[in-house]
Chain A
Amino acid sequence: MKEDLQNPAFAYIAGRIDKMLVPALLYFLAHKPAHGYELIQKINESGFSEIEADPATIYRNLRKMEEDGLVISQWETQNTGPARRSYQLSPEGYQALDYCVQLITDKVTKMQAFLEQYQREVKGS
């Protein structure tokens, strides 16, 4: 875990894990490539993120994730009609998702321990 923190992208994720926005973006992109419009809808429907997934926040995070090498973007074009920028996970993005899961698991374990101790010592059950 300490080695992971030497990677600036992973350090960024660790500093914001409580907000759950980056893990949620990585999670949805692990299913399939998507454009920002779709991701905003999915994140708000899922309730995974602790912060409001407004367009400015989502696109800024996607650009940051691209700069950090976690996602790759390209214009999804057909021969005709509308084209949108589509994002997909890079191999480093999959590693980042695994890292998020590790951080979340650690947090859940600690919170579970807290709840159990509370039930046992405060509520006496």
Chain B
Amino acid sequence: MSYQQILKILHAGALRKPVVECAKLLQAVCPEIDIQLESYGSRACARQVREGKVVDILALADPMLFDELLGPEYVDKYYIFANDQIVLAYNEFSRGSGEINVKNWFDILLREDVTFGRSNQNLDPCGYRTLMVWQLAEQYYEQSGLFAQLDQKCREDLIYPKSYDLASDVLVGKLGYAFEYLCVVNQFGLKYLTLPEKINLSNPSYAEYYKQATVSLQGKNSGEMITVPGAPIEFAISIPKNTENPDLAKNFLDLILSKKGQQILEDCGLIPY
């Protein structure tokens, strides 16, 4: 009796394209396997594993989640494999996009007829990183009260479960602007504004500086709150301890960490390690 091996991959929405590309490569070499992909915000992914979901590969948008939510019960080793930055995504019809620049973006976002979104900080690292960017921007631009103004204007209905969905709504014009990872912006072919390195959470040289920004999040247990400090944006991948297909999972992991994987990551707009 033959049976089909299944490789279950749970990943951050932001990693959709590189994960799909690597899955296609693996499928080409092993056509007999069934590769099943699911994506959510990374905190939501980690919570699902904690709640008993069994997957063979877990790829998240923040290495901290492995320590905070998964180690050592669910994951013992994880590979930090790429870097990214937060940018402000928009489309050619976004209001004010013809005049937006690195000095005036917050003034444009605060205009009455402009909408912008972010992802939910309790589900998706892009959400808490956006809140950190706003805090750092208040200091960088010496605009007292900027964080509160941006936070107030970004209403509940403009807070999405994952960053990938934000990009899709910017693309179709449902949303004017969104705070996004550069890799997601590249995957959707959106226009974007690069923010200063001191606030875009990209550069390890500013690791200490980024720590000034902090966000409170729902912790591991119900009702518990934790404070997360700012840090350079990195992505990490792991084979959870309860994988049902360790050999297949290892093949996928080796592929994404290989030279070929590095090229795929770079083509998708990430900075591979």
Residues of B within 8 Å of A80, CB to CB, are: 71-72, 76-77
A22-59, CB < 8 A from B: 35-38, 40-41, 44-45, 53-56, 59
B233-265 contact mask (Cβ, 8 Å, vs A): 1 or 0: 000100000000000000000000100001000
Residue contact B236 to A54, C-beta cutoff 8 Å: no
Whether B197 sits at the interface, judged by CB under 8 Å, is yes
Max count, chain B CB within 10 A of own CB: residue among A35, A38, A59: A59
**Chain B interface, number of residues (Cβ within 8 angstroms):** 25
**Chain A interface, number of residues (Cβ within 8 angstroms):** 24
A59-101, CB < 8 A from B: 59, 63, 75, 77-85
Q: Which of A35, A63, A79 contacts B262 (CB 8 A)?
A: A63
Take A83-B77, A84-B80 as given contacts and tell me if A75 and B204 are in contact as well, using a CB distance cutoff of 8 Å: no
Q: Which of B79, B205, B262 contacts A40 (CB 8 A)?
A: B205
What CA separation (Å) do A75 and B78 show in the bound complex? 11
B67-109 contact mask (Cβ, 8 Å, vs A): 1 or 0: 1000110001111110100000000000000000000000000
Residues of B within 8 Å of A77, CB to CB, are: 77
What CA separation (Å) do A53 and B271 show in the bound complex? 13
Q: Is the interface of B mostly helix, strand, loop or mixed?
A: mixed
> A22 to nearest B CB, angstroms?
18
Take A37-B232, A80-B72, A84-B273 as given contacts and tell me if A55 and B78 are in contact as well, using a CB distance cutoff of 8 Å: no
Residues of B within 8 Å of A82, CB to CB, are: 63, 66, 78-80, 236
Take A59-B273, A63-B262 as given contacts and tell me if A81 and B205 are in contact as well, using a CB distance cutoff of 8 Å: no
Residue contact A55 to B271, C-beta cutoff 8 Å: yes
Q: Which of A35, A38, A41, A59 contacts B271 (CB 8 A)?
A: A59
Q: Which of B66, B79, B202, B273 contacts A54 (CB 8 A)?
A: B202
What CA separation (Å) do A94 and B96 show in the bound complex? 53
Instruction: Identify the closest chain B residue to A35 (Cβ).
Output: B273
Residue contact B204 to A37, C-beta cutoff 8 Å: yes
Residues of A within 8 Å of B72, CB to CB, are: 80
Residue contact B273 to A83, C-beta cutoff 8 Å: no
What CA separation (Å) do A26 and B73 show in the bound complex? 40
Max count, chain A CB within 10 A of own CB: residue among B83, B232, B272: B83
Take A59-B83, A59-B271, A85-B273 as given contacts and tell me if A40 and B77 are in contact as well, using a CB distance cutoff of 8 Å: no
Whether B168 sits at the interface, judged by CB under 8 Å, is no
Residues of A within 8 Å of B272, CB to CB, are: 59
> B177 to nearest A CB, angstroms?
24
- With A81-B76, A82-B80 given, name 20 new contacts (CB 8 A): A38-B204, A40-B203, A45-B205, A53-B205, A55-B83, A55-B202, A55-B204, A55-B271, A59-B271, A63-B262, A75-B257, A80-B71, A80-B76, A81-B71, A82-B66, A82-B78, A82-B79, A82-B236, A83-B78, A83-B79
B-side residues, CB < 8 A to A, are 63, 66-67, 71-72, 76-81, 83, 197, 202-205, 207, 232, 236, 257, 262, 271-273
What are 28 A-B pairs with beta-carbon distances under 8 A? A36-B273, A37-B232, A38-B204, A44-B205, A53-B205, A54-B202, A54-B203, A55-B83, A55-B203, A56-B271, A59-B271, A63-B262, A75-B257, A77-B77, A78-B77, A81-B67, A81-B71, A81-B76, A81-B78, A82-B78, A82-B236, A83-B77, A83-B78, A83-B80, A84-B79, A85-B81, A85-B257, A85-B273
A-side residues, CB < 8 A to B, are 35-38, 40-41, 44-45, 53-56, 59, 63, 75, 77-85
